[in-house]
Amino acid sequence: MSEENAEFIGEKGPQRRYVSEQHSFRLTQISTSQKIQLLILTILALITREWEIDEPSTVVFDELVVGNSVNSYISHKITSDINPPAGKIIYAWIASLFNYTIPKLGFRPNASYVNADGNLLFPYTLLRTFSAVCGSSLVIFMYKTLRSSGVRHSIALFGGFLVLFENSIVVQSRFFFLDAPFLAAIAFAISSIKSGDSMRTFSRKWLACLFLSAISLGYTISLKTSGFFVLVWAFAVTIKQIWYMIGDLKVKKCTIWRFTVLKFMLYLVIPASIYIYFFFVHINLLTERGPAYEELSPEYQRSLINNHLEHVYKDVFYGSSITLRHYTTGNYLHSYDAKYKNGHQQVTLVEQFEDPLNRWFLEEAGTNPSTDLLVRNISIPSWGRVRLYHNGTEKHLRVDPDAKPPLSEQDYNREVTALGNNTWLGDDYTDLEVRIAPDYCKTNASKGRVQAIDTVFQLYSHRKGCFLLGTSKKLPEAWGHGQSEVLCIESPKFERSLWYIDSNEHPLFDETTPTVEFKKLSFWDKFVELNKLLFRTLASNKFDHPFMSKPKDWVMLNGGIPYYSEDNKFVYLFGNVITYHLVVLCVFCYALWQIFRLILWNPHKELRFSERTYKYEFHGLDYFLGYVINLIPYVLLDQTFFLFCYLPALYFGILLVGQTFELIVSKRPSIGYLFTCLWAIAVLLTFVKFSPLIFGLKWNKEDCMSLLLFSTWDNFCAAYKNE
């Protein structure tokens, strides 16, 4: 069997030499013995990922997130996450195929998948097996990609070998996380793109590869939000290829235009269609109130079964008992009998709707609430003044004249607290002016007076000259219970200072009182809202975690993540130190190579062409770009990240390792093959030595300590006891 591949030929141009691409069947002839060798490598990958996959029989790390999502899909309860829904939908579909149609397991850390009677509560081994198969497929995709890059069989096998015995990839493939199917989609996309690049443009095989690459890119962005980095990479290498085609004088301009339009169109339309399709499934499956309910707009909430908005009275009067919802976060204004560090009562934002401590009584500033507010309907106009009396703690919301907020301590910020008792009428610092934002209101009537749901407004303190503002900053668990900070600020971002009333009760309301009429949302309305929620949640994904890490820790492998620990058995996400350092070395060498070439480049000097070097530069640039594009965003973003975020970049790095070793072997075969064998032995020995951390085998502290090679590493051996 043979496959088409590209060769690069130095041609003489009108003024200087240029490089032209030609196609040949010579470079990638695959013999039966080579297929058998690849098959053996793939079987070994399945063995390493499937061996004792039923252990541990408890919920491990992110299986909690995926498992809860599976339960939500099975029970049709609305849920949301920082990632698109494709991965969780696929896992839910697999679970339902094996008769998991009623949620039997409440997912929590270390919960057992087997009950006291030995009955299986959740088909976890089947879901882990799917993940293992996805992880094993990386070996085939690695080999296929490298062969499409002009790499010989032995070096392509070496690339597959590195993936086979890469500790962190193996660990992630042994549990039903999103990472294994995500990496498989990435690997399939890269393989399809590189295979297509090696084929004759517009041939049937080229078109097939183009469609497959677009489909796999669609799955990539539908599995995890970081899949968009891979889509960016696909466009980047397409632009690079167009640039090289422009430099090839044998390629016609019309060919370049057709190539550009077709690739860009398919890379936009097909991935977008797949992404939208999974949200269509997500929206149609999740039709009941669930974990993400409080994060949705009132219109979306109203469309769900068991919602709380069946009868929301429209007109809001002084004397109404209300809940106030923050416009951008969707959380509720809340107070409770707990103190800031300075002793003042807390006013915060919470997600839960059904909390009685979210209820506030609307007083007219300067009046006695016990008089005529409850017997007369007095509307609240724009610029009307109110006081918010907290029903649960019998205190007034108050902008403190002196104190700074506990987290946002800038001079222009003011603390929002609750003060007083059921006899105190408040003071100037409790007065708030309602400023309706007409551009955000949903009806004409709601622009003139406050109405529940439809009127969006600011709350302004005249005494301190500031606006009530909700933030996503979390108060410490120790004294703030992880609730979000509320403050008063002079010049806020407009939308973050907006509020609306979510529920509305008054003694004079009866069955004849008008209620809110909710807009019926279309699929596109829901699609846009869910994506806004996804990216809003992603933007606020910053929290303290004992095992969080940064890119500088990943590239040198300074630490990992403990997944499971019991009875001297320990599962720890930790990479193969040899592979990690080899990737960094090859990335660094490629960067130096290109910098050196750029410094020495002279457009007036005749091009010295070497196909071996050119292949390294041409294909290596694709993998170098993939590594950088999948790593740099984590450097720039100030969020909470973990070691597994590095795996897509690591995969690109291993591809660059294969391309680098191909260059060495092509120039110095004996030295190249010696290096390849030595690195392979080192990788295998490292995998074997650290295998207790991969498979959760019994180990002891003394043996573990002997493998702590660097002082920068986490002391994961603390989980073991001396025998």
The answer to whether position 523 is within a domain reads no
Instruction: Tell which residue, 275, 163, 117, 217, has the closest CA to residue 582.
Output: 163
The answer to whether position 409 is within a domain reads yes
**5 close to 148: Cβ distance less than 8 angstroms:** yes
Question: At which residue do the structure tokens 């990839």 appear?
Answer: 169
CB-count exposure of residue 76 (10 Å: 0-12, 13-18, 19+):
middle
**99 close to 120: Cβ distance less than 8 angstroms:** no
**682 close to 657: Cβ distance less than 8 angstroms:** no
513, 537, 558 - which closes a domain = 513
> pLDDT per residue over 198-256, tens digit each?
888 888 999 999 999 999 999 999 999 999 999 999 999 999 999 888 876 777 888 88
680 shares a domain with 633? yes
408 shares a domain with 332? yes
**Strands in 453-520 per DSSP E:** 457-461, 466-474, 484-489, 499-505
Residues near 575 by Cβ (< 8 Å), separated by ≥ 6? 166, 167, 168, 557, 560, 643, 650
Long-range contacts of range 20-26, CB-CB < 8 Å, 24 or more positions apart? 20/248, 20/249, 20/250, 21/244, 21/248, 23/198, 23/199, 23/200, 26/2
The answer to whether position 526 is within a domain reads no
Instruction: Tell which residue, 454, 467, 432, 470, has the closest CA to residue 333.
Output: 470
264 shares a domain with 383? no
Instruction: Tell which residue, 352, 340, 333, has the closest CA to residue 476.
Output: 340
Angle in degrees, 0-180, between the axes of helices 86-97 and 63-75, rounded to the nearest 10:
70
Round to whole Å and give the CA distance between 533 and 300. Answer: 12
Residues near 89 by Cβ (< 8 Å), separated by ≥ 6? 73, 278, 281, 282, 285
pLDDT along the chain (723 residues), means of 10: 55 56 58 92 96 92 94 94 95 94 87 88 95 97 94 95 96 96 98 91 92 97 97 96 81 89 96 98 95 91 92 91 91 88 80 84 75 73 92 91 81 85 85 94 92 95 91 81 88 92 90 90 96 89 84 91 87 94 96 88 66 86 96 92 95 97 93 94 95 89 82 78 68
493, 513, 533 - which closes a domain = 513
Residue 372, domain extent: 314-513
121 shares a domain with 38? yes
**383 close to 433: Cβ distance less than 8 angstroms:** yes
Q: Which residues pair with 436 in a beta bridge?
A: 457
pLDDT given at position 324: 94
pLDDT given at position 285: 96
Residues near 393 by Cβ (< 8 Å), separated by ≥ 6? 335, 336, 337, 345, 357, 418
Considering its fold, how many domains does the chain have in total?
2
239 shares a domain with 95? yes
End-to-end CA distance of the chain: 56
Round to whole Å and give the CA distance between 156 and 144. Answer: 8
**457 close to 424: Cβ distance less than 8 angstroms:** no
pLDDT given at position 717: 82
The answer to whether position 296 is within a domain reads no
470, 498, 513 - which closes a domain = 513
506 shares a domain with 435? yes
The answer to whether position 292 is within a domain reads no
150 shares a domain with 30? yes
- Asked whether the CA dihedral 490, 491, 492, 494 is positive or negative, the reply is positive
For the chain, how are helix, strand and coil distributed in percent, rounded to 5?
A: 45, 15, 35
Q: Which residues pair with 639 in a beta bridge?
A: none
pLDDT given at position 1: 45
Round to whole Å and give the CA distance between 75 and 69. Answer: 10
585 shares a domain with 628? yes
b/e sequence 681-703, b meaning 16+ C-beta within 10 Å: ebbeebbeebbbbbbbeebeeee
User: Which pairing describes strands 17-24 and 499-505: parallel, antiparallel, or unpaired?
Assistant: unpaired
Residues near 299 by Cβ (< 8 Å), separated by ≥ 6? 518, 519, 520, 521, 525
The answer to whether position 174 is within a domain reads yes
Round to whole Å and give the CA distance between 717 and 703. Answer: 9
pLDDT given at position 282: 97
User: Which pairing describes strands 484-489 and 5-12: parallel, antiparallel, or unpaired?
Assistant: unpaired
266 shares a domain with 180? yes
Tokens found for residue 476: 């410490």
> pLDDT per residue over 250-277, tens digit each?
778 888 899 999 999 999 999 999 999 9
357 shares a domain with 277? no
CATH of the domain at 388: 2.80.10.50
Q: For residue 649, which phi and psi values (nearest 5 degrees)? A: -65, -40
pLDDT given at position 23: 56
Q: Enter the pTM of the model.
A: 0.90
The answer to whether position 21 is within a domain reads yes
585 shares a domain with 444? no
pLDDT given at position 168: 95
Q: What is the widest separation between alpha-carbon atoms in the chain?
A: 97
617 shares a domain with 472? no
Instruction: Tell which residue, 409, 545, 539, has the closest CA to residue 477.
Output: 545
The answer to whether position 294 is within a domain reads no
